[in-house]
């Protein structure tokens, strides 16, 4: 039954004991080339922060690190008009990660622990104030507003814990681990278990088999599901409740649990970390059980559990739309066609209106995927600096009103047409199951 509602998060293979750098992007001569000014600026800028040597064995550094392959020589320049004609998002880009990195100001890479902590303090104060106000007023006219607001704040706490997992919260690994555990355990997320699987997602983004978050089902796997499972999987609101089930059992065709230290999600050396996170998660469950006994199940349902489910919906909603739903089909890769850069360039930025600031600009997702070490408060500036280099590979997000209601239509459309990819081919695009799509009309 769990597979009915799980999102497209499968695709993890056991990680090796060391991580070689991702294969550098192929750089054939292409009509898609940079303007002279962009090339000159990229080549003349000083290099960004030192590359992370991911060829070394994993240590107990709890920061999530993703290596960036070096760029090679920029291909010969062509006319800008030729670059605009016949753009194919599945072609290797005429630039490398080094050019993008060089365009981003050096201060964007600086991690300010005190500034990061100020966001934690802000969010915790808001969470406490909302709970106190709702409990005091105790009106059924207020409770639905509280659930929406508090669930959004739970999602904001998750994003800060997410930064801890990437090591972008602080340069101190212990600070990242302590704050990450406190934030994620409070919303029933096993910090290290999630951090490790999320690392796999970033290191394999855009890869059909190896990606770990919202990646597509192959046609064979899709057809192996019964019709009810397929329909439930792609019918709202069921996919928006997938995250807790994903943590427990992952997705069709994959085994493992984020709570089990012996799961093939983890390396043997990571088992102690997973045990620690599962213990913290269990302690939070015990606290919630005690509060439920003391305050009563109805009060805890109103104060905590309904906001928790709003948080789950935010998480599934946002993470899905960062990898699906663009107005033009975007590629997924296999084999030699995949590279770290090409996979990252298929992610999508989204505008969430007033929510942008509340959930710490997580909608600026392209630069975050390419350089997850950049703190969230510098992502907007880094994106603006990198856009001239990215060119047409950067897709301008549709502007939102105060609240991102426009994205509900984008989500519904994607679930209606993005069902599976071909079993073969190294550059593939989502295909539609006509039977399932017709059932939704």
24 domain-assigned = no
Q: Is residue 52 part of a domain?
A: no
- How far, in Å, CA of 365 to CA of 206, rounded? 13
Query: Which single residue is written with the structure tokens 């602080």?
Result: 170
Residue 74 belongs to a domain: no
Measured torsion, CA atoms of residues 48, 371, 171, 159, in degrees rounded to the nearest 10 = 150
* pLDDT score at 229: 84
Which range of residues forms the domain containing residue 246?
Answer: 2-16+109-440
DSSP line for 170-184: -S-HHHHHHHHHHHH
The per-residue pLDDT for 430 is 96
DSSP symbols for 414-439? HHHH--BB-SS-SEE--B--HHHHHH
Is 399 a member of any domain? Answer: yes
Query: Cα angle at 318 between 313 and 319, to 5 degrees?
Result: 105
Taking only the tens of pLDDT, the chain with its 441 residues reads: 444 333 434 443 333 333 334 444 444 434 333 333 433 344 344 444 333 343 334 344 444 444 444 443 444 444 444 445 578 889 999 999 999 999 999 999 999 999 999 999 999 999 999 999 999 999 999 999 999 999 999 999 999 999 999 999 999 999 999 999 999 999 999 999 999 999 999 999 999 999 988 889 999 999 998 888 888 889 999 999 999 999 998 877 778 899 999 998 999 999 999 999 999 999 999 999 999 999 999 999 999 999 999 999 999 999 999 999 998 899 999 999 999 999 999 999 999 999 999 999 999 999 999 999 999 999 999 999 999 999 999 999 999 999 999 999 999 999 999 999 999 999 999 999 998 876 555
The one-character DSSP state at 207 is: B
Q: Identify whether the C-beta of residue 82 lies closer than 8 Å to the C-beta of residue 137.
A: no
Supply the pLDDT for residue 441.
Answer: 52
Q: Looking at residue 87, what is its pLDDT?
A: 85
- Answer for the pair 339, 347: CB distance below 8 angstroms, yes or no: no
Three-state SS for 266-323 is CCHHHHHHHHHHHHHHHHHHHHHHHHHHHHCHHHHHHHHHHHHHHHHHHHHHHHHHCC
Residue 206, domain member (yes or no): yes
- Tokens representing 179 are 């704050």
- The total number of structural domains in the chain stands at 1
Residue 256, both tokens? 């493992």
pLDDT at 213: 80
Beta bridge partners of 332: 428
Taking alpha carbons only, the member of 283, 58, 154, 161 closest to residue 275 is: 283
Give a yes or no: residue 95 inside a domain: no
Cα(355)–Cα(149) distance, integer angstroms: 11
Token pair of 282 as six digits: 């269990």
How would you write 345-365 as a 3-class SS string?
CCCCCCCCCCHHHHCCCCCCH
């Amino acid at each position: 039954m769990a597979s009915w509602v799980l999102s497209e998060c499968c695709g993890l293979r056991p990680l090796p004991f060391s991580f070689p750098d991702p294969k550098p992007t192929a750089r054939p001569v292409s009509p898609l080339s940079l303007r002279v000014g962009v090339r000159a600026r990229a080549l003349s800028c000083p290099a960004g922060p030192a590359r992370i040597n991911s060829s070394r064995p994993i240590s107990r550094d709890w920061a999530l690190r993703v290596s960036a392959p070096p760029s090679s020589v920029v291909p010969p320049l062509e006319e800008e008009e030729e670059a605009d004609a016949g753009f194919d998002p599945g072609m290797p880009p005429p630039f490398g990660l080094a050019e993008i990195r060089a365009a981003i100001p050096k201060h964007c890479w600086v991690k300010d622990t005190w500034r990061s902590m100020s966001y934690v303090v802000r969010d915790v104060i808001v969470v406490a104030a909302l709970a106190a106000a709702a409990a005091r007023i105790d009106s059924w006219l207020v409770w639905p507003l509280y659930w929406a607001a508090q669930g959004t704040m739970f999602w904001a706490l998750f994003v800060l814990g997410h930064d801890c997992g990437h090591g972008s919260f602080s340069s101190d690994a212990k600070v990242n681990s302590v704050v990450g555990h406190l934030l994620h355990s409070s919303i029933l997320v096993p910090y290290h278990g999630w951090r490790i699987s999320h690392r796999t997602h970033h290191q394999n983004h855009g890869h059909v088999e190896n990606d770990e978050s919202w990646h597509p089902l192959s046609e064979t796997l899709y057809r192996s599901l019964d019709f009810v499972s397929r329909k439930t999987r792609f019918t709202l609101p069921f996919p928006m409740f997938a995250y807790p089930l994903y943590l427990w059992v992952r997705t069709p065709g994959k085994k493992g649990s984020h709570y089990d230290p012996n799961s093939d999600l983890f390396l043997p050396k990571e088992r102690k970390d997973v045990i620690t996170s599962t213990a913290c998660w269990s302690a939070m469950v015990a606290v919630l059980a005690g509060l439920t006994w003391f305050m009563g199940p109805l009060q805890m349902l109103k104060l905590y559990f309904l906001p928790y489910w709003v948080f789950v919906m935010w998480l599934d909603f946002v993470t899905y739309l960062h990898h699906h739903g663009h107005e033009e089909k975007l590629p997924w890769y296999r084999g030699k066609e995949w590279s770290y850069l090409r996979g990252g360039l298929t992610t999508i930025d989204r505008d969430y209106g007033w929510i942008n600031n509340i959930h710490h600009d997580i909608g600026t997702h392209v630069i975050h995927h390419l350089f997850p070490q950049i703190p969230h408060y510098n992502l907007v500036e880094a994106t603006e600096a990198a856009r001239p280099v990215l060119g047409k590979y950067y897709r301008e997000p549709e502007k939102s009103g105060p609240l991102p209601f426009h994205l509900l239509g984008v989500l519904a459309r994607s679930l209606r047409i993005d069902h599976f990819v071909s079993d073969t081919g190294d550059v593939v695009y989502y295909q539609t199951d006509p039977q399932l799509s017709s059932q939704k009309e």
